[in-house]
Homo-oligomer: A and B are copies of this chain.
Amino acid sequence: MTVAPHRAPIALASLEEGLEVLRREGGRVTTPRRIVLEALFAADGPVSAEHIAQGQGERPSLELTSVYRNLQYLEELGIVRHVHAGHGAGLYALETLTPLEYVVCEHCDRVEAIDAPRLDRARAEIRSELGFEVRFSHFPLVGLCPRCAAGSSR
């Protein structure tokens, strides 16, 4: 598990491809590692390490420590990325073919994945106003979703 600097993103098409990447990079294909990947493929959005560690149905549970270690390793390989949805635990997801960025509602805590290009105009505004090149992938956009913005008396 000695990779450190992040590689370019790799969008896995299948679990098998993930295992291939592991082998190619000199990593070993172990049961916990396979399970973490399975959990990420099974998830329909970013999930916490805790969630992965708990297991679900067929998928066995495993040590939280191993989950964190493997997520970190997979992240260094460019297979996984994590987001911070609020004050709580980080959320992990597989890297995707079309880059995703995230928006979180600070009222209902819902996390929504957005195709990065949809935020290009906002990014351009920020670039021209501040000269900053922003990403909403690691730290998401936080605000009120339409639903909550409508019925919020706070």
Stretch in A13-21, A34-42, A118-126 with 4+ CB within 8 Å of B: A118-126
Is A51's beta carbon under 8 Å from chain B? no
Q: Which of B114, B121, B134 contacts A143 (CB 8 A)?
A: B134
Stretch in A23-31, A68-76, A91-99, A144-152 with 4+ CB within 8 Å of B: A144-152
Bound-complex Cα distance A132 to B119 (A): 12
Is A59's beta carbon under 8 Å from chain B? no
Bound-complex Cα distance A22 to B146 (A): 36
Which B residue's beta carbon lies closest to that of A143? B134
Number of interface residues of A (CB under 8 A): 34
Q: How many copies does the complex hold?
A: 2
Using Cβ atoms and an 8 Å threshold, which residues of chain B touch A131? 145-146, 149
Could you tell me if A145 and B122 are in contact, using CB atoms closer than 8 angstroms? no
Interface of A is mostly: mixed
Is A133's beta carbon under 8 Å from chain B? yes
Is A106's beta carbon under 8 Å from chain B? yes
Using Cβ atoms and an 8 Å threshold, which residues of chain B touch A86? 139
Question: Taking the nearest CB of chain B, how far is it from the CB of A123, in angstroms?
Answer: 8
Is A58's beta carbon under 8 Å from chain B? no
Q: Which of B118, B129, B142 contacts A134 (CB 8 A)?
A: B142
